[in-house]
């Protein structure tokens, strides 16, 4: 936790960041460690640690030999969080280039809550697929899907051939989708999520947990956990 003086320095820099994030080039330069240490009568290491925190929050970047600068405000992606259409469809409708990489796929052991969501018991095999979503060249989300392996064996056999799970379900004759059990929460990323998404460990993630159902039969098709970068989207409910 920041002390009173450290908090004053933090918010002083943050105010400069907010002013500088829309400015180009050298005009976005932030005060040096030396200048702030002298202004607030603190050590340079105190200022440096505050700057490092702001860097991990994705608000400040350091340029070797030039100083620190406010990160230019990125254009956010408007995203409807409803589960009736896929992320792939939403990005296509927005005219945005989407790349999907399968980063994990394996059988997993699940607890009672996940098994109940899938309508399964301990004898059923559950498969997990993790997909990294890259929009306009920037990793922005990590989608993790759980489903019953015996119901979709070809998806298990070749997960990389099916970057869109909804498109795969459509290929099986499922045309209408519904979602249930949606829960939103905010968490800081794990080390693996920091690596995959290319973010600092203090950039929060919006986590969306929900079940995808066949709207015509009510059968649960998958349970998903989606981790969205909080700095990449504006969210519509």
Query: Is the separation of the CB atoms in 71 and 61 below 8 Å?
Result: yes
pLDDT band at 2 (very low <50, low <70, confident <90, very high): low
The pLDDT tens digits for 193-213 are 999 999 999 999 999 999 999
The pLDDT tens digits for 213-236 are 999 999 999 999 999 999 888 877
User: What CATH topology corresponds to 4-70?
Assistant: Arc Repressor Mutant, subunit A (1.10.10)
The reported pLDDT for the residue numbered 26 is 59
The pLDDT tens digits for 71-105 are 876 678 888 877 677 898 889 998 999 999 999 99
Query: Is the separation of the CB atoms in 60 and 30 below 8 Å?
Result: yes
Token code pair at residue 226: 């989606």
The pLDDT tens digits for 14-41 are 988 887 654 555 567 899 999 999 999 9
CA dist 206 and 52 (Å) reads: 23
Flag whether pLDDT at 12 surpasses 70. yes
Report which secondary-structure segment, H or E, holds 53.
helix 44-56
Instruction: Using the structure block, give the residue that is written with the tokens 């379900």.
Output: 169
DSSP tag of 123:
T
The pLDDT tens digits for 139-178 are 999 999 999 999 999 888 888 888 889 999 999 999 999 9
* pLDDT average, residue stretch 180-197: 94
The pLDDT tens digits for 119-136 are 999 999 999 999 999 999
User: Which residue would you say has higher pLDDT here, 182 or 190?
Assistant: 190
Maximum distance among all alpha carbons in the chain? 69
Q: What is the CATH number of domain 77-236?
A: 3.40.1410.10
Instruction: Using the structure block, give the residue that is written with the tokens 């995959």.
Output: 196
The reported pLDDT for the residue numbered 71 is 85
Query: Is the separation of the CB atoms in 174 and 160 below 8 Å?
Result: no
Closest CA to 199 of 74, 90, 101: 74
CA dist 87 and 165 (Å) reads: 10
The reported pLDDT for the residue numbered 79 is 86
Instruction: Using the structure block, give the residue that is written with the tokens 């004759």.
Output: 173
Q: Which residues of 190-200 are buried (b: 16+ CB within 10 A; e: fewer)?
A: eeebbebbebb
DSSP tag of 110:
-
The reported pLDDT for the residue numbered 17 is 86
The reported pLDDT for the residue numbered 173 is 94
Q: Where are the domains of the chain?
A: 4-70, 77-236
């Amino acid at each position: 936790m920041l002390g009173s003086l450290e908090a004053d320095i933090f918010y002083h820099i943050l105010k400069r960041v907010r002013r500088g994030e829309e400015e180009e080039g050298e005009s976005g330069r932030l005060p040096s460690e030396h200048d702030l240490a002298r202004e607030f009568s603190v050590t340079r290491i105190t200022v440096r640690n505050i700057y490092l925190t702001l860097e991990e929050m994705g608000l400040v970047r350091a340029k070797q030999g030039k100083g620190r600068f406010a990160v230019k405000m990125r254009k956010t992606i408007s995203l409807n969080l409803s589960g009736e259409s896929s992320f792939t469809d939403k990005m296509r409708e927005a005219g945005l280039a989407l790349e999907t990489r399968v980063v994990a796929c394996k059988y997993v052991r699940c607890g009672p809550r996940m098994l109940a969501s899938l309508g399964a018991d301990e004898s059923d095999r559950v498969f997990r697929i993790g997909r990294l979503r890259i929009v306009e060249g920037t990793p922005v989300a990590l989608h993790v899907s759980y489903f019953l392996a015996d119901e979709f064996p070809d998806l298990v056999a070749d997960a990389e051939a099916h970057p869109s799970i909804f498109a795969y379900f459509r290929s099986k004759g499922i045309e209408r989708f519904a979602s249930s059990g949606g829960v939103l929460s905010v968490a800081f990323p794990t080390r693996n999520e920091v690596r995959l998404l290319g973010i600092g460990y203090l950039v929060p993630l919006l986590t969306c947990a929900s079940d995808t159902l066949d709207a015509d039969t009510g059968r649960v098709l998958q349970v998903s956990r989606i981790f969205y970068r909080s700095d990449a989207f504006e969210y519509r409910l």
